[in-house]
């Protein structure tokens, strides 16, 4: 399974990119997420569940510290879920 993260930070500034938006974009870039799309009113990226959840935690902390007054985000599961492993199947050789 992969997760898709969509987020925006406020307050908006149409004249220049605010520090909190730059920090949020930096967090996503350093997290090694894929399918990164950066726009003036929203950003998105995809990755493994662990990578996305870690990036969200870092994004919230750092963007708020950089002056964000509101962070809107949405996380969706994309793609088929991983099939469940059968008990004893891991690491067993075929007989």
CB 75 within 8 A of CB 1: no
Model pLDDT, residue 46 = 96
Q: Is the pLDDT of residue 25 over 70?
A: yes
Domain residue extents for the chain: 2-78
If one looks up domain 2-78 in CATH, what number appears?
Answer: 3.30.70.930
Q: Is the pLDDT of residue 91 over 70?
A: no
Query: Which has more pLDDT, 81 or 27?
Result: 27
Model pLDDT, residue 41 = 79
C-alpha distances out from residue 9 to 37, 87, 90, 92, 94, Å: 15, 44, 43, 48, 52
Q: Is 32 helix (H, G, I), strand (E, B) or coil?
A: coil
CB 59 within 8 A of CB 7: yes
Q: Per the structure block, which two tokens stand in for 49?
A: 């569940």
pLDDT one-digit tens code per residue, 37-76 = 988 778 999 999 999 999 999 999 999 999 999 999 999 9
Q: Per the structure block, which two tokens stand in for 73?
A: 């985000």
Q: Is the pLDDT of residue 90 over 70?
A: no
pTM > 0.95: no
């Amino acid at each position: 399974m992969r997760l898709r993260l969509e987020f925006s930070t406020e307050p908006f500034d149409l004249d220049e990119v605010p520090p909190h938006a730059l920090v949020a974009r930096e967090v996503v870039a350093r997290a090694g997420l894929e399918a990164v799309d950066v726009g003036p009113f929203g950003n998105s990226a995809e990755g493994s569940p662990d990578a996305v959840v870690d990036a969200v935690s870092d994004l919230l902390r750092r963007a708020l510290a950089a002056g964000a007054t509101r962070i809107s985000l949405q996380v969706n599961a994309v793609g088929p879920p991983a099939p469940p492993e059968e008990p004893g199947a891991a690491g067993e050789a075929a007989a």
